[in-house]
Structure 1
Amino acid sequence: MPLDPGAQRVRDLIREAGRPPLHTLTPAEARAVSAASRPVLQPDPPEVALAEDLSCPGPAGAIRLRRYRGLGTDPAAALPCLLFLHGGGWVIGDLDSHDQVCRALANHLGACVVAVDYRLAPEHVFPAAVEDCAAALRFVAAEAAALGIDASRIAVGGDSAGGNLAAVLALMGRDGAVPAPGFQMLLYPVTDLAANTPSYLRCVEGYPLTTATMRWFIDHYAPDAAHRIDWHGSPLRAASLAGLPPAFVMTCGHDPLADEGIAYARRLDEEGVHVAHLHVADQMHAYLTMGRFIPASELTLRQAAAALRLHWEHAAP
């Protein structure tokens, strides 16, 4: 399917600006280029009832978090919570890169969102990000009362690399390594670090995420080939997905990650997990953080939030 006109405009802007592909830069340069693009691509962050920075203990020191409460929520209520893990190939991204997304989700959910500033590669390779996200989930579950969170309704979610980490946490929760989340929101997730599906052959030039850029991310995050077949890095390689919590999986057509995301949704379904799979055929990777040009980003966030809200309503005592 042809690319959405708004997404095509973003591609044109990138080309007109002469922005170099991320994989031709150092990680520090890539972070700076990505940060500079935020005010151009992202809409103004919506108002929320609360947005505050805090931290939790981690295996290598304090982990920065940001807690949001949706607009109109009761300040005294214990709200359901989405632990959100940002994208960026485990190399770029932070609390600010996804602040607008987290605010929108908090409002659409009418709930709490806690974003995690996990350690990035190549300074901290696999499994550092997994360890930090696991520590954040343990903290949110243990301190739920103090954080104004309903401990019985905690979900995990994220986009791209963050979707990968959310899927890993769901598997760890099923196996008892972390508190088991009740839902997983996986937005164009990485599910297999092999990076060899047919969709990798379709996105080789001119996209925000190309085949070369994705492999550059993976090389920084998991330089040891043995880690790429570990399900903590490649959840699609887990022996079984049975017993996982319900999932919302979003994939998009113009994305190297499309096939592995589709395969993950299919396996969840085949192995008895309730899954809603949304495939946005005319969109490209990273469009959720390009809402100034791509209205579908807001629609997709509303759809993801609606799936999670429906789950919470059914899970309510």
Structure 2
Amino acid sequence: MPLDPRAQRLLSMVAAAMPESRQHPSVGQRRQSLAKLMQFARNDCGAVITRDGTFAGPSGPLRYRLYTPAADPHDSGARPGFVYFHGGGLVAGSIDTHDNVAAALAAASRCRLLSIDYRLAPEHPFPAAIEDAIAAVHFAIDHAAALGIDGNRMVIGGDSAGATLAAAVCQQAHDRADLRIAVQCLICPVLDFFNPWPSRELFGTGYLIDRGTWQADLADCLDGKTDVAHPLISPLCRETLAGLPPAVIHTAEFDPMRDEGNAYAARLAEADVTVAHVCHDGMVHNFHALGAILPQAKAALDLVGRQIRSLLQVSSIR
């Protein structure tokens, strides 16, 4: 499929606002650019009620925002839980920039969703974000009753680099008995910094997220000594994916990270993990978060929600 015309207009708009000389954007530029881009996010999936709070992270309090779908007269008792990690290369983003995306996912999935303000690099390099992500899942499970969550129906998900965290948490959960995850949800995931995937070369310039940005993000996250093939950084490099939770995976045709997301879905399926995978024709990285420009965003988030609900009905707790 060709690049969607609306996506092309978006890319032209982004290119016009970004000088060609910005090959290696600073942390401040990356954070500012993402915040501006996320102004195009919308929640068209349904009304939610929000409540902010904090929990004890590994190095101090961490913020979260709890999203509850609007009252359903047919719903009673605890809802499934959904711990969500925002995108931004582990360098940018927050619960505020991704507020509409989190709200849409909560409404579509009918879960009580906790969006997590994990620590960002370079102020807090690897493994700070993954430590916070694991702590967030522990918090959600340990305080399930107070949060109105069914601790036996937990979804762990994220988009872009947030999906890296989600995939890594699910892998860690497989190796330990104190984390119980029913479904994983990965949207436009970043899963492999080690192997030379063709889509990273094909779409590495001019397709919303450029090579210079993800290289700068990686450099800020790591100390220069950490192996990029480590599964906590490149979850696709894990030797076996057998036994991981059922997965919802959404990729985009013109996303530099398309191939690694598609490969992860394929490897999960080969390992007999149930996978609901869609590669969206004509779309670019982060398209799901740009509903004010791309009408495909609502359809994608609605579908994610339906797939999560379906998998929650049949999944067994790992």
The 1:214–1:18 alpha-carbon spacing in structure 2 relative to 1, beyond 3 Å, is closer
- Between 57-66 and 28-37, the greater mean CA deviation after superposition: 28-37
The 1:23–1:168 alpha-carbon spacing in structure 2 relative to 1, beyond 3 Å, is farther
- Aligned match of 2:184: 184
Cα deviation 1:31-56 (Å, max 9, x = unaligned) = 123223333x2236776342011111
- Aligned match of 2:214: 214
Does residue 102 of structure 1 match 2:105?
A: no
Does residue 164 of structure 1 match 2:161?
A: no
The 1:316–1:173 alpha-carbon spacing in structure 2 relative to 1, beyond 3 Å, is closer
- Aligned match of 1:70: 69
The 1:316–1:109 alpha-carbon spacing in structure 2 relative to 1, beyond 3 Å, is farther
- Aligned match of 1:111: 111
- Aligned match of 1:129: 129
1:20 shift after superposition: 6.3
Q: Structure 2: how far apart are the matches of 1:274 and 1:217?
A: 31
Q: Structure 2: how far apart are the matches of 1:316 and 1:199?
A: 34
The answer to whether the 8 Å contact 1:22/1:30 transfers is no
Does residue 272 of structure 1 match 2:272?
A: yes
- Between 103-112 and 12-21, the greater mean CA deviation after superposition: 12-21
- Aligned match of 2:60: 61
- Between 107-116 and 18-27, the greater mean CA deviation after superposition: 18-27
Instruction: Give the residue type in structure 2 aligned to 1:291.
Output: G
1:73 shift after superposition: 3.7
Instruction: Give the residue type in structure 2 aligned to 1:63.
Output: L
Cα deviation 1:229-255 (Å, max 9, x = unaligned) = 211111111121100010011111111
Q: Structure 2: how far apart are the matches of 1:90 and 1:199?
A: 21
Look up the SS of the partner of 1:272 in the other structure. Answer: coil
The 1:38–1:276 alpha-carbon spacing in structure 2 relative to 1, beyond 3 Å, is closer
1:288 shift after superposition: 1.5
The 1:23–1:243 alpha-carbon spacing in structure 2 relative to 1, beyond 3 Å, is farther
Look up the SS of the partner of 2:60 in the other structure. Answer: coil
Instruction: Give the residue type in structure 2 aligned to 1:8.
Output: Q
Instruction: Give the residue type in structure 1 aligned to 2:63.
Output: R
1:315 shift after superposition: 4.9
- Between 302-311 and 176-185, the greater mean CA deviation after superposition: 176-185
Q: Structure 2: how far apart are the matches of 1:227 and 1:312?
A: 35
The 1:78–1:21 alpha-carbon spacing in structure 2 relative to 1, beyond 3 Å, is farther
Cα deviation 1:80-116 (Å, max 9, x = unaligned) = 0111010111111100111101111111122211101
The answer to whether the 8 Å contact 1:163/1:188 transfers is yes
Alignment of 1:1-317 (within 5 A): 1-18=1-18, 24-39=24-39, 41-43=40-42, 48-73=47-72, 77-176=77-176, 178-194=178-194, 196-315=196-315
Q: Structure 2: how far apart are the matches of 1:163 and 1:117?
A: 14
Q: Structure 1: how far apart are the matches of 2:119 and 2:192?
A: 20
Cα deviation 1:11-31 (Å, max 9, x = unaligned) = 121133346687532112321
Give structure 1 stretches of 5+ with no counterpart: none
Give structure 2 stretches of 5+ with no counterpart: none
The 1:46–1:20 alpha-carbon spacing in structure 2 relative to 1, beyond 3 Å, is farther
Instruction: Give the residue type in structure 2 aligned to 1:300.
Output: A
Q: Structure 1: how far apart are the matches of 2:61 and 2:22?
A: 29
The answer to whether the 8 Å contact 1:192/1:235 transfers is yes
The answer to whether the 8 Å contact 1:137/1:178 transfers is no
Look up the SS of the partner of 1:229 in the other structure. Answer: coil
Cα deviation 1:142-176 (Å, max 9, x = unaligned) = 00001110111011000010111100111111111
Instruction: Give the residue type in structure 2 aligned to 1:194.
Output: F
1:195 shift after superposition: 5.8
Look up the SS of the partner of 2:251 in the other structure. Answer: strand
TM-score (norm 2): 0.93
Q: Structure 1: how far apart are the matches of 2:7 and 2:19?
A: 16
In angstroms, what is the RMSD of aligned CA positions? 2.1
Q: Structure 1: how far apart are the matches of 2:22 and 2:225?
A: 22
Q: Structure 2: how far apart are the matches of 1:11 and 1:315?
A: 39
1:296 shift after superposition: 0.7
Cα deviation 1:194-217 (Å, max 9, x = unaligned) = 262111111132221122222221
